[in-house]
Amino acid sequence: MPLSLTVLGTASPHPGPGRPCSGYLLRGAGAEVWVDAGPGTFAELRRHTDPDRLTAVWISHLHADHSADLLAAAYAFAYGGMAPPAPIPVYAPLDCARRLAGFLGRPDVRFLSEYLDFRPLFDGHTVRHWNLRLTSRAVAHDTEAYALRAECQGSVLVYSGDSGPCDALTGLASGADLFLCEADLDRHREGEHEQPVHLTPEEAGEAARKAGVRELYVTHVGPTLTRKAATARAAAVFEGPTRTAREGETIPL
């Protein structure tokens, strides 16, 4: 099976009608990986696959708009008759299991191990599921955060997660066929952060240009921008094929 990406949600920082927060279904070489689990994405995931068929879950960082629907998944697996045949690997920042158990009102994380196998990410983490290779790099954000490079049968997809401008992101995206990149901010507010923790559309376009990617998909557009404007602004800097990631779309590579 060639590499493909199905868009489950793109909203920031909260879901809207018909627009869940960040979440994607990555498929390749027979593997199915839920990439980020923002609010509303578990229901959308079920439109495209049975959750118990997931090969893995990958979480960029633990802000709610990227991880909160792990709670919905845990409820479905534990109480909804949807338990997977074996615990699903969850590649996520270190504290993910404890936070999820806390939301469920449980004092420890052991009960989750029947359904989810939490494996902490780190800078340079690499894992392979069949012929799908996943590489994670730490990126610039205000919490532990990672970007993802997926490689399968000669195709390369890179997802920024949430990140400000940084060499790790452009390096990870080098030569990608598809660069799924956030463009959250209209502009940076002076003095808000020592280092920017999100990208403007222009910065997304610049990252794509520097990385030499084939195609840029703009996602995670914040409330101070429209998706149309963000995509146009990114395209003006990238000067290559630039599109808007939209819910329900499947993008083949």
- Average pLDDT per block of 10 residues along the chain, 253 residues long: 95 95 98 98 98 97 97 94 96 94 83 94 98 98 98 98 98 99 85 79 98 99 96 98 98 97
| pTM score of the predicted model | 0.96
* Per-residue pLDDT, 186: 85
CB 209 within 8 A of CB 175: no
Q: Residue 217 forms beta bridges with which residues?
A: 180, 243
* Per-residue pLDDT, 136: 99
* Per-residue pLDDT, 53: 94
* Per-residue pLDDT, 188: 76
Take residue 79 and report the two structure tokens written for it.
């109480």
Q: What is the DSSP string of 131-176?
A: TEEEEEEE-SSSSS-EEEEEEETTEEEEE--S--S-HHHHHHTTT-
Domains recognised in the chain with CATH numbers = 4-250 (3.60.15.10)
**Cα gap 93→193, rounded to integer Å:** 22
* Per-residue pLDDT, 40: 98
* Per-residue pLDDT, 84: 95
Counting Cα atoms < 13 Å in the Cβ hemisphere of 117 gives 9
16: left (phi > 0), else alpha (psi -120 to 50), else beta?
beta
